[in-house]
Amino acid sequence: MFTGSLVALVTPFAEDEVDYETLRELVDFQIRSGTDGIVPVGTTGECPTLSHEEHKKVIEVVVQESAGKVPVVAGTGSNSTDEAIELTRFAKQVGADGALIVVPYYNKPTQEGLYQHFAAIAEEVDIPIILYNIPGRCGVNMEPRTIAKLAEIDNIVGVKEATGQLDQVSEIAISCGLTILSGDDSLTLPIASVGGKGVISVVANIVPTDVKALTDAILEGDFATARQWHNKLFAMSKALLSLSTNPIPIKAAMAKLKMCSGQLRLPLVGLSPSKEEQLVQILTDYGLLKNA
């Protein structure tokens, strides 16, 4: 249902408040660039430091600004099942096309607990759901057997795989028919080689047409062209996740490109001067900034 290049949209701030005017501009930029889907209030959208009211308003504003031109898959996960149900229900009420729901973090549920968590949300809210598996942040890996079991539920339609393990992606692809989306830009092509159908992308915040060119080639089966785009995007994709914790580097990049303020909320802080210099060089090498 959801394939291609879906952008993991940042949440812009101004004086520590959500900058809804800039948020609308970022949505418009993505639509003009042909992005296949917009994913607000996920990891890149700094959902942990948004209030519930802000979280809901960001979803609503993105849905309104998208105006049906591009699907919106709202981040509605929580480590509380009741809270995830509430956010997912709200997303459906305001017109989101789907929900991206992360594995519960910190409380480290068992595989059975994971199954019951996602099954309860799917039962309570009839909206297409993409599972979000990112053990590096959540402290627990949702195993392929659990994902395959959840795939039997009609409105669970996809999984965002951010484990970095191609063997796991292969097991999922073999065991069920869920749409598999990469959770790491640098792995979009490798994951596609074993069954992936796209990416929920950080780097698409700044180069959406290039990421779409990569995923279009993948979906067309043109892996020679896809590899060319992978090679072009690789260094920047790696840097935006390795220089510091996401979304610190992408927000710094967007500030350099005058797309948003680059402000973060504590406990996230900006790049060190040395890493900022590295980022500037990477953006320059890509052609997004001119040489000083």
Per-residue pLDDT tens digits for 80-105: 999 999 999 999 999 999 999 999 99
Percent of the chain predicted with pLDDT > 90: 98
> What mean pLDDT is predicted for residues 123-139?
97
- Distance of alpha carbon 166 from alpha carbon 176, whole angstroms: 16
> What mean pLDDT is predicted for residues 68-74?
97
Given the residues 20, 115, 132, 286, the one annotated as active site: 132
Contact 42, 87 (CB under 8 A): no
Q: Give me 15's structure tokens.
A: 């004086």
Q: Give me 263's structure tokens.
A: 């402000």
- Distance of alpha carbon 188 from alpha carbon 253, whole angstroms: 21
- pLDDT tens column, 52-69: 999 999 999 999 999 999
Instruction: Quote the pLDDT of residue 1.
Output: 78
Whether the upstream peptide bond of residue 128 has omega within 30° of 0, thus cis, is no
Contact 226, 214 (CB under 8 A): yes
Q: Which residue has the tokens 């609308």?
A: 24
- pLDDT tens column, 187-230: 999 999 999 999 999 999 999 999 999 999 999 999 999 999 99
Residue 292 scores a pLDDT above 60: no
Contact 207, 229 (CB under 8 A): no
Active site residue 132: yes
- Distance of alpha carbon 230 from alpha carbon 210, whole angstroms: 9
Average pLDDT of the chain, as a whole number: 97
**How many residues are given for the chain?**
292
Active site residue 160: yes
Given the residues 160, 197, 212, 251, the one annotated as active site: 160
37-39 and 129-133 beta bridge pairing: unpaired
Contact 201, 6 (CB under 8 A): yes
SS3 89: helix
Candidates 132, 178, 182; CA nearest to 153 is: 178
Residue 291 scores a pLDDT above 90: no
- Which domains occur in the chain, in start order? 4-221 (3.20.20.70)
SS3 160: strand
What's the distance, Cα to Cα, between the start and end of the chain in Å?
Answer: 44
156-161 and 129-133 beta bridge pairing: parallel
- List all residues 6 or more positions away from 7 whose beta carbon is below 8 Å from its beta carbon: 30, 35, 37, 38, 39, 200, 201, 204, 205, 208, 211
Q: Give me 55's structure tokens.
A: 């979280």
How remote is the C-alpha of 105 from its chain's centroid?
17
Residue 269 main-chain phi, psi, to 5 deg: -130, 165
SS3 103: coil
- Distance of alpha carbon 121 from alpha carbon 107, whole angstroms: 17
Instruction: Quote the pLDDT of residue 214.
Output: 98
**Does pTM surpass 0.75?**
yes
